[in-house]
Amino acid sequence: EKSELEKWACLHCKGQNATTSKVMKPLLGDQQAYVATVGSKVVVAFRGSSNIRNWIKDVEFRYTPLNWTGLPGNLKVHNGFLAASDQLEQKTALLSEVDKQLASCPTCKLLVTGHSLGAAVALLFTAKMGLIKGRSFRPEIVTFGSPRVGNKAFAKYWSGLYGASHTRHVHNRDP
């Protein structure tokens, strides 16, 4: 699966195949991200729920404080989504791979995307990158079927920083 994804070529993309790609997956983990330079973008795509361990993360829905340095103290997020995000950040070289690909393409813009669980992880990844990079960090964020990631304070924080650059695709009954 990993090697197939890294050498994947789009037959219909008209010269937009990935020039650099890397699948980020912890050795003993169940979460997965794909980082690729495609045309003028570095794309970070987070996989949605695909196995029983992912579904368990989905139902770990208790909110937990988001205790990242530099954030207001009243932010809370879904415990399972935070655990999935932390797994990728702490057990892979995801952040450094994104930095490496952005450094290799200084004119590239960052696009962060995901579906379902992957959409929630995409939001948390973007929030973490924003803390690291500062206020000038302006990625494009596109999510599909994203569940609610945090409490009202988190939603307000997120909207204030990234609301204008976040395109959220949902079914008419999604929260």
Q: Which residues are catalytic?
A: 116, 174
CA distance linking residue 62 with residue 49, whole number of Å: 18
Burial class (CB in 10 A: 0-12, 13-18, 19+), 153: middle
Q: Evaluate whether 130 touches 95 at the Cβ level (below 8 Å).
A: no
Burial class (CB in 10 A: 0-12, 13-18, 19+), 36: buried
CA distance linking residue 27 with residue 168, whole number of Å: 31
